[in-house]
């Protein structure tokens, strides 16, 4: 037996009828059918608050009605996501290679970079005793 979820709005005692989620990176708010379970970052709203909700300025609001299926990902969407992941991995590899190269250069005896700032180890810097 599960408890009835209530509206997340302060001082509202009505049962939840919809779930609101948002993506800051995309400046998008989505109001859809009530989620099957409570999720972090998702807010359950009663029907009235869900209907009256307006997004912040310059944000997009997407409403998914309960009889409407959520938008499906197309093959193009999935390929775009895969390409973005590959590009991010490539950038990380390039940064890693640059870090290794600069670390090797700074490890040479007499290197002024090593004397001034210490050895680099990832994003941390090891500073020796003076």
- Burial per residue of 96-119, b for 16 or more beta-carbon CB atoms within 10 angstroms, e otherwise: eeeeeeeeeebeeeeeeebeeeee
User: What is the separation of C-alpha 2 from the centre of its chain, rounded to a whole number of angstroms?
Assistant: 30
Supply the pTM of this predicted model: 0.50
**Residue 115: per-residue pLDDT:** 46
Q: Tens digit of pLDDT for each residue in 23-70?
A: 888 899 999 998 888 888 899 999 999 999 999 999 999 998 866 555
Q: Count structural domains, the chain.
A: 2
**Residue 114: per-residue pLDDT:** 46
Q: Tens digit of pLDDT for each residue in 17-31?
A: 999 998 888 899 999
Domain enclosing residue 110, as ranges = 75-126
Domain boundary among 68, 85, 108: 68
Same domain, 82 and 23: no
H runs (alpha helix) in 8-118: 47-52, 75-106, 112-117
**Residue 67: per-residue pLDDT:** 64
Domain boundary among 45, 68, 91: 68
3-state SS assignment for residue 15: strand
Of residues 126 and 114, more confidently modeled: 126
Q: Are 37 and 72 in contact (CB under 8 A)?
A: no
């Amino acid at each position: 037996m599960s408890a009835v979820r209530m509206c997340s709005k302060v001082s509202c005692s009505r049962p939840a009828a919809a779930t609101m989620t948002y993506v800051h990176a995309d400046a998008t708010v989505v109001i859809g059918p009530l989620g099957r379970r409570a999720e972090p970052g998702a807010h359950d709203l009663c029907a009235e608050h869900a209907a009256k909700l307006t997004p912040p300025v310059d944000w997009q609001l997407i409403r998914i009605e309960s009889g409407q299926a959520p938008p499906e990902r197309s093959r193009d969407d999935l390929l775009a996501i895969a390409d973005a992941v590959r590009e991010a991995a490539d950038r990380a590899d390039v940064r890693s290679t640059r870090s290794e190269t600069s670390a090797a250069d700074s490890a040479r005896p007499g290197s002024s970079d090593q004397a001034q700032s210490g050895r680099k180890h990832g994003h941390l810097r090891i500073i020796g005793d003076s």
